[in-house]
C-alpha cells in the first residue's frame, strides 16, 4: 500500500510540474496570434564606452605619445586634405600603428596653399596637377597666385601644369 501511495504522489507531482512548465512557456511565447511578445533588451552604447575600449586596445599595443606636433595633414585621392590642428599623436612602431586624435577639418587642397607646399609628396603633386587640369586657366591663376609670388613658376600648356 505504501508503494502505491508513493507512485500516486510522484505522478501527481509530475503533472503539476508539467502544468507549471506549460504556464511558463505560455508567458515566454515569442510569437503567435494574440500573444504577448518578449521584449528584446536594447543595449545602448555611449561614445565614452567606445573611447574606453579604444584606449584599452591602444594600451595593449603599447603606444607612446609623440609631443611637439602642431598640425597633421592627410592627403586624399579626391584632392582634399584632412587637417588636424594641434592633435594628440600616439605611435607604436612594433605594431606599425599611429593614432591621431583631435578635431579634423576637411579642406580643399587650394585652401591650404602655399603653406602646405613643403609637405607635398609625389602623389600629392600628381593630385595637385589633376586639380589644375580641372580648373579653368583664370581660376587656376587666381588660386595659385601666392605660389608664383614665392618664386615658383608654373607653365601652362593647354590648361595643365608641366
- 67-82 per-position pLDDT tens digit: 898 888 887 877 788 8
Instruction: List the grid coordinates of 66.
Output: 609623440
127, 123, 118: which is closest to 147 by C-alpha?
Answer: 118
The whole-model pTM stands at: 0.48
* pLDDT score of 150 more than 50: no
Q: Which three cell numbers stand for residue 145?
A: 597666385
Pull the grid cell for residue 125. 603633386
Q: Any idea which residue has 515569442 for its cell?
A: 30
How far apart are alpha carbons 86 and 90 in whole angstroms?
A: 13
Alpha-carbon distance of 126 to 103, in angstroms, equals 27
Rounded Cα–Cα distance for residues 83 and 87 (Å): 10
Homologous superfamily of the 45-109 domain (CATH): Nascent polypeptide-associated complex domain (2.20.70.30)
Every domain range in the chain assigned CATH 2.20.70.30: 45-109
Specify the pLDDT at position 149.
44
Joined grid coordinates for residue 131: 586639380
What single-letter DSSP state applies at residue 119? Answer: G
DSSP symbol at 156: B
Backbone angles phi, psi at 92, to 5 degrees: -130, 105
Amino acid at each position: 500500500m505504501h508503494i502505491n501511495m508513493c507512485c500516486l504522489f510522484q505522478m501527481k507531482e509530475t503533472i503539476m510540474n508539467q502544468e507549471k512548465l506549460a504556464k511558463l512557456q505560455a508567458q515566454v511565447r515569442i510569437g503567435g496570434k494574440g500573444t504577448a511578445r518578449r521584449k528584446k533588451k536594447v543595449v545602448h552604447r555611449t561614445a565614452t564606452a567606445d573611447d574606453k575600449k579604444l584606449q584599452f586596445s591602444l594600451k595593449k599595443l603599447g603606444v607612446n605619445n609623440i609631443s611637439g606636433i602642431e598640425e597633421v595633414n592627410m592627403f586624399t585621392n579626391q584632392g582634399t586634405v584632412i587637417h588636424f590642428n594641434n592633435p594628440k599623436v600616439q605611435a607604436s612602431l612594433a605594431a606599425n600603428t599611429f593614432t591621431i586624435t583631435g578635431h579634423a577639418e576637411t579642406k580643399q587642397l587650394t585652401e591650404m596653399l602655399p603653406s602646405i607646399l613643403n609637405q607635398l609628396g609625389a602623389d600629392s603633386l600628381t593630385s595637385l596637377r589633376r586639380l589644375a587640369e580641372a580648373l579653368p586657366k583664370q581660376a587656376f591663376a587666381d588660386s595659385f597666385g601666392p605660389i608664383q609670388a614665392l618664386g615658383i613658376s608654373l607653365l601652362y600648356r593647354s590648361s595643365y601644369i608641366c
